[in-house]
Amino acid sequence: MKTTIAIIQMDIAFGNPEENRKTAEKKIKKAAADGSTVIVLPELWTTGYDLSRFEQIAETLDGPTHDMLRALASDHHVTIIGSIAEREGNQFYNTMVVYDPSGERVSEYRKAHLFRLMNEEKYLQSGNTKGNFPIGEVPAAGVICYDIRFPEWLRTHMLDGSQALFVVAEWPKPRVDHWRALLISRAIENQCFVIACNRVGKDPDNTFGGHSIIIDPWGTVVAEAGGGEETLQADVDFSEVEAIRKQIPIFQDRRPGLYE
């Protein structure tokens, strides 16, 4: 059974959640109208990396972004994935949220690896739990940007049979070749679909690379965006994962006792 996925590769208005919610709402509605049932937004799509102002612009997980995504997921019967600036008390997190077609939030993953080149460790707390969640009957997992440089972390997400890895990012343009190479490697070594959404545009310190991408379990690129705003749409058949894992049974042939 095929699933139609839309990746919303958008520019982000720096530090302006209200404007970004309006933009995302229009794009989500359009993707749903075009037949997508899973819709992916970038990392920190509500705020961008305006980290020094998170005191003013971050929100709780029951804030206005929650209200919007819950309603959109339910009204259009879609799964929505993306990360936002989360406030919990006096602490802040870069948190991926996932809403299922009933409007229920089924995952809250706080970014585990903070990226020093963009000063995350100065403003954010790191998460300590995995990002697994279901898409209907399909087990999946989600991580955020810099996490993809840690293959041992991603492997822990795959050991429960997850068939898809969703990645949301604000990956800078100078290292976009790393982005592609790492994502293809993660698909091959985990024999899973990789669905990765990057932003485009600029903030005061960075230019972002786009090239959102969908990769199959062989490492073949199914669809890839360019460097500008667009919604990338493609069909994926998650049943391919099981067939490939039977053909080359890497999960059965692992020797974890040697790796510790």
What residues are labeled active site? 43, 111, 145
- Listing DSSP states for the chain in one string gives -EEEEEEEE----TT-HHHHHHHHHHHHHHHHHTT-SEEE--TTTTT-S-GGGHHHH-B-TTSHHHHHHHHHHHHHT-EEEEEEEEEETTEEEEEEEEE-TTS-EEEEEE-SS--GGGTHHHH-PPP-S--EEEETTEEEEEEEGGGGG-HHHHHHHHTT---EEEEEE--BGGGHHHHHHHHHHHHHHHTSEEEEEE-EEE-SS-EEE---EEE-TTS-EEEE--SSSEEEEEEEETHHHHHHHHHS-HHHH--HHHH-
Structure tokens at 149: 């440089």
194 close to 169: Cβ distance less than 8 angstroms: no
